[in-house]
Chain A
Amino acid sequence: METVKDLIFNDFSIPALLLFLVGLVGVLFKKNLLIIFMCIEMMMCASLLLVASVASKYLSVEGLVLSFFILAIGACEVAIALAVIIQRYKLKQKPFLDDVNLDRE
């Protein structure tokens, strides 16, 4: 009987996990919108690598199809988020997050 750990853990999980952690640290501690967004992309890519490695370990076409969809959704996300970032930059003339106030905006 395989546990979840056996199922997910393979040689590629450690680089994927480290990349995810680096991205998480960036999202939590950086104030620059563009850098934060790059970090979110890196986290997404790390999850992509994990899904793809599990898929090819178990020869599962479903897993590969799932990673294809993750990629497509990542592309949509980039388009919209970069548009929002540019508009915000035009409005405030600086790309930082420190003056964001959701109550006021």
Chain B
Amino acid sequence: MDTVLFYIFSALCVGGGLAVLMLNGYVNSAMAMLCSMLGLAGLSFLANAYILALLIIMVYAGAITVLFVFTIIMMGEDGVANSTMKDRAKMFVMFLLGACLLAFFTPRIAEFYSADGFGLISFKEFSAQLYSKYILAVEVVGVLLLVAVVAVVAIAKETRKR
């Protein structure tokens, strides 16, 4: 069962990546990226990195994809192509191609893949380490986020002046 899930998530991940490159229209590409991120979250889940799977779904699939879609809306109508039958067929072919690429590169995975080799780090352990040993790094990342917010506001104001 795990092996089947592994292949499904990997195909979703790589096929979504290929679809980002091949599809017309930004919205289609953004949705393909969402598929890719969901596949990635599934893979992290299989690797027993539950915390990361949760974070990927929250940050990448949730926040960042929405940010991309907002950007596409700001850019106006011409960035969006209507999804045609051809696009859907292309998407399907991309997933098949992703699966084929994986099958080509991983002939041995079906034999040796199992989740047993991957240990589980509990949320308690993770957060205890994060807020004791790595507290300085957490603070630095907080400052980095603040700087990013200030920078974005500054960039937005810069062009308003022009």
Contacts and interface: CB of A to CB of B under 8 A. Distances in A.
Contacts of B26: 34-35
B91 interface: no
Given A34-B75, A61-B129, A65-B129, 5 more contacts: A11-B109, A19-B36, A39-B20, A52-B49, A74-B60
Interface of B: 6, 9-10, 13-14, 17-18, 20-21, 26, 29-30, 33, 36-37, 40, 43-44, 46-49, 51-52, 55-56, 59-60, 63-64, 67-68, 71-72, 74-75, 79, 98, 101-102, 105-106, 109, 112-113, 117-121, 125-126, 129-130, 134, 137, 141, 144-145, 147-149, 151-152, 155-156, 158-159
Contacts, number: 182
Interface residues of A, number: 56
Contacts of B17: 18-19, 22-23, 42
Contacts of A10: 117
Interface of A: 10-12, 14-15, 18-19, 22-23, 25-26, 30, 34-35, 38-39, 41-42, 45-46, 48-49, 52-53, 55-62, 64-65, 67-69, 71-76, 78-80, 82-87, 89-91, 95
